[in-house]
A and B are shown apart, each in its own frame.
Chain A
Amino acid sequence: MRKTNRAGSRLLIGLVFLFLYAPIILLIIFSFNAGDSSAVWKGFSLDWYGRLFRNRLIMESVYTTLLVSLLATVIATAAGTFAAIGLYSLGRKRREALLTVNNIPMINADIVTGVSLCLFFVAFFQGWGSFARWFNSVQSAVELPERLVLGFTTLLLAHVAFNIPYVILNVAPKLRQMDRNPMDAAQDLGCTWMGAFWKVMLPEIKPGIVSGALIAFTMSIDDFIISYFTAGSSSSTLAMAIYGMTKKRVTPEINAISTLLFLSVLVLLVLSNLKEVRQEARERLGAARKPSGLERARQRFSEPRYLWVRRGLAAALACGFIGVVGFLSYVTGSRPVVNVCSWGEYIDPALIDQFEEETGIRVNYQTAESNETLYSLLKSGGADYDVIVPSDYMIGRLIAEDMLEPLDYSQIPNYGLIEDRFKNLPFDPDNQYTVPYTWGTLGIIYNANAVEEEITSWGALYDDRHAGEVLLINNSRDAIGEALFYLGYSVNTTDPAEIRQAYELVAGANRRGVFQGRVMDEIFQKMEGGNAAIATYYAGDYLSMVDNQAEGVDLAFVVPEEGSNWFVDAMCMLKDAPHQREAHMWMNFIASTEANLANMDYIWYASPNGKALELYPEWYEEEYGEPLDMELYQIMAAPAEVLERCTMYQNLDAGTLALYNDLWTELGI
């Protein structure tokens, strides 16, 4: 009876593990995919592993992630354990009040924690700046740094801050469960408190500490949004790199690095367990065998008289570690740098290496998820980027709010290579602030095998015949803009009645169940796998989807007859950027024809460099030994007759933006 019971419980534990590991196995399988997709299988390949090791951005972010997670876990576990002991020696009233405050970082939405920490750090740095200036002016013996910026330290502090509550929450029940008498007894028998803590209390509360540390590490390694707001412009964690990719596509490189991390932890786990099992077996065999030399040495070393030697060694190790980290940051700090922020997968990584080699300038390349995420970070004062690459309407907003620095075009001779039609656009009418980076169109992507007729109108998005098969873009400007195009209104209208009418069109379709969901990055795997029939996205991304579509899926792209949006993403420099000379060099380098060719080939977004546009078909044939499919080329770089019916988004006034936001929220309620 008891035996079957056991088998049953093991079966259930097994099922839970299956539940936990099914997605992981899938994720590992797709790290070997020959295609770019993490949902459609295109054959076996080790390509992503090779690319991974050549991708400096990912490798550096892995290093930062491990360092910050491990340090934060160690600090938070030690601090949290002692804090929990302290809390438990307080009276119940005070303890409960403190525990409630303790839980705040857990209760709070991550984004609120992230933004508030960012505001706090920035305010502190400003206060410090005035203090340092005053201090440096009254004496000259010690020079304090006047300008502090967000970086690894603030990232670490933020991680410790959100980790501690989890440790306390895990240690607290163990303390509550613990019998306090043995602690008192040990001390009565002459043990110091520390001694009693190590020998009596620690073994008792260890499971709580271990699970607290595990959870803290997990929270740290997976955190994106708090890191994003506290990491500054020079360090980037893996999670930040991954979310940065979501504007385009999260590549299987990420699956590959996750697989490697997963396997190394698994191997460590097996090894440590084998060792323990062997040790247990040895103990069972009895003490007949003499301890080896190493074991004897270890035994002697753990004697009390070597206590200070042990402590000294630990201190030396800690100092050495801090020294190495400090030295590394000094070495990287002494080189000229430029801090760039762009979208993920939006540059050929070889260009970064090439620029660094040619100029000796180090590029700190960070990625953001969307124009709005970037804006939010800039508004909180949390980034000191030199170069950013926002889209047209956001550039208009940044200029209107005086957040950009005018460029010195004499330092950017390659600006002359940019075609005139991409200059003096409404967002920067006098061309003082921008160097165009890419351009493209928004259109409908549909699975020709899943719809009956050829789609030419935005009306298809609201058509009941496609119920449950349409993906609405999760961005108020685009979603309502498409309806405005369909209704024949200007996409830049500020007339609330027109906007509301457009919203009603979308909301009506939503109520009737036409939309399967509101999507951004998921669009890739949904369209490629044939899980939805109609979606809207950007031309360059359509090209990547076509390459990865599953069998039986036939994706097509159309810029609807009612007109659509065309966009320009452009490089600009933030107000008071600290590395302006380097920023100009970077922009000049990226504007060159060679860089534009490489970028166009890598990201499939059209270049504003006239020569690169013209040369690309030839360049492609030389590079790949086959002619470029001109039909696809025309989708990437839309011809004049298509661009004629397209309009660019302009920055809207605050009232209209608020209306967009209210309506968009209403749609989700």
Chain B
Amino acid sequence: MRNKLSWFAVPYVAWMALMVVIPILIMVVYAFTTAQFQGTLENFSEMGAYTSVFLRSFRLALVATLICLLIGYPVSYWMAREGAGFQRVAMALIMLPMWMNFLLRTYSWMSILENNGLLNQFFRAIGLLELLGVDYLPMIGTPGAVVLGMVYNYLPFMILPVYSVIVKLDHSLLEAARDLGADSALVFRKVILPLSLPGVLSGVTMVFVPSVSTFAISRLLGGGTQMMLGDLIELQFLGGSYDPHLGAAISMVMMAIVVACMVVMNRFGEGEGEAALL
């Protein structure tokens, strides 16, 4: 049966070859050529200049992913304990904000976080600003605002996979653990957490990966003075000098690093059987 099922993968592999691999190969060609399509490694040798952008992007994406996990996991866990009706509605409500255009939502965040924005007006009204002796709390244009933007945009991508795994956990296992004398904390640590790991891995991938390559969030919420990888790549394609060759090269390096991160993470994930025994 297993072998027969693997035929399902065939059309998909063909599709991937056409729609993923060939376009990527085109970009690889770009990365290793000049504007006149002569072979070069120059695009990569320049990469060192962008180290700080790489570090900044990966650092902020990591922070955003951790925050998403810290918020998303308990929310998924609690949601899974509620009634079926509540769950259905809550799940849809979690995705619904994302169906409004990204730019509009980010504009809204800007008016909340501005120096003269809603939050600062609120702080002024309750006398907090006076207490601190400042005109406003600087929020917009800080790395914190960028992380907030990422968390806001990608939190649902953490909640959904984690929730969909937890909701289908085998309850007899939990009961067995309790019968064997484990308290709630122990049940969570030894049973629920290891069993929900696949969902967490999916969630981490789906938050971390787009966070690394996001663009516009750092411009709109971070003030744009500190570029992220997505902005750097975008600038090569849509900036004044149009250098898709350099853009492709930066993107290749970024992908290589992300793939390396994910391979390590998947190792860790496949070992979930052992993790449960610890």
Contact of B160 among A101, A110, A187, A215 (CB under 8 A): A215
B202/A516 in contact, CB under 8 A: no
Residue A405 lies at the interface, judged by CB distance under 8 Å to chain B: no
Residue B181 lies at the interface, judged by CB distance under 8 Å to chain A: no
B23/A117 in contact, CB under 8 A: yes
Q: Contacts A276-B88, A531-B114 hold; do A250 and B238 have CB atoms under 8 A apart? A: no
Contact of A265 among B99, B160, B255 (CB under 8 A): B99
B251/A112 in contact, CB under 8 A: yes
How many angstroms from the CA of A222 to the CA of B98 in the assembled complex?
8
Please name 16 further chain A to chain B contacts, defined as beta carbons within 8 Å, in addition to the given A12-B75, A107-B213, A169-B202, sorted by A numbering.
Answer: A27-B105, A83-B11, A88-B5, A115-B244, A119-B23, A173-B199, A187-B1, A218-B98, A269-B89, A373-B238, A375-B242, A379-B242, A477-B240, A516-B141, A517-B223, A661-B240
- Name the B residues within 8 Å of A474 (CB-CB): 219, 224
A273/B74 in contact, CB under 8 A: no
B224/A519 in contact, CB under 8 A: yes
> What are 30 A-B contacts defined by CB distance under 8 Å?
A16-B75, A16-B155, A17-B93, A20-B94, A22-B112, A23-B108, A38-B107, A83-B12, A89-B8, A103-B262, A104-B24, A107-B213, A109-B215, A112-B251, A120-B19, A120-B23, A161-B19, A173-B161, A173-B165, A204-B168, A215-B160, A221-B99, A222-B101, A273-B85, A273-B89, A372-B238, A516-B141, A517-B225, A525-B107, A669-B52
Closest 7 CB pairs of A and B: A86-B8, A86-B9, A517-B223, A668-B227, A661-B241, A23-B108, A173-B198
Residue count of chain B within 8 Å CB distance of chain A: 126
A100/B101 in contact, CB under 8 A: no
B155/A522 in contact, CB under 8 A: no
- Name the A residues within 8 Å of B266 (CB-CB): 96, 99
A250/B22 in contact, CB under 8 A: no
Residue B180 lies at the interface, judged by CB distance under 8 Å to chain A: no
- Name the B residues within 8 Å of A664 (CB-CB): 235, 239-240
Residue of B nearest to A106 (CB): B209
Residue B127 lies at the interface, judged by CB distance under 8 Å to chain A: no
B161/A39 in contact, CB under 8 A: no
Residue A26 lies at the interface, judged by CB distance under 8 Å to chain B: yes
B5/A85 in contact, CB under 8 A: yes
Quote the shortest CB–CB distance from A267 to chain B (angstroms). Answer: 12
Residue B195 lies at the interface, judged by CB distance under 8 Å to chain A: yes
A211/B108 in contact, CB under 8 A: no
Residues in A lying within 8 Å of B, measured CB to CB: 6, 9-10, 12-13, 16-17, 19-24, 26-27, 38-39, 79, 82-83, 85-90, 92, 96, 98-113, 115-117, 119-120, 123, 157, 161, 164, 166, 169-170, 172-174, 176-177, 184, 187, 193, 204, 207-208, 210-211, 214-215, 217-218, 221-222, 224, 238-239, 242-243, 246, 250, 254-255, 258, 261-262, 265-266, 269, 273, 276-277, 280, 369-370, 372-373, 375-376, 379, 468, 474-477, 510, 515-519, 522, 525-526, 529-531, 654, 657-658, 660-661, 664-669
Residue B96 lies at the interface, judged by CB distance under 8 Å to chain A: yes
A111/B233 in contact, CB under 8 A: yes
B101/A254 in contact, CB under 8 A: yes
B49/A669 in contact, CB under 8 A: yes
- Name the A residues within 8 Å of B238 (CB-CB): 111, 369-370, 372-373, 376
Residue B248 lies at the interface, judged by CB distance under 8 Å to chain A: yes
- Name the B residues within 8 Å of A373 (CB-CB): 238
B209/A107 in contact, CB under 8 A: yes
- Name the B residues within 8 Å of A16 (CB-CB): 71, 75, 155
A27/B26 in contact, CB under 8 A: no
B223/A516 in contact, CB under 8 A: yes
Interface string of B80-116 (1 = CB under 8 A from A): 0100110011111111111111111101111110111
- Name the A residues within 8 Å of B49 (CB-CB): 666, 669
Residue of A nearest to B88 (CB): A273
B91/A214 in contact, CB under 8 A: yes
How many angstroms from the CA of A667 to the CA of B226 in the assembled complex?
8
Q: Contacts A24-B97, A112-B251 hold; do A531 and B71 have CB atoms under 8 A apart? A: no
- Which of B85, B101, B103, B232 has the most chain A CB within a 10 Å cutoff? B101
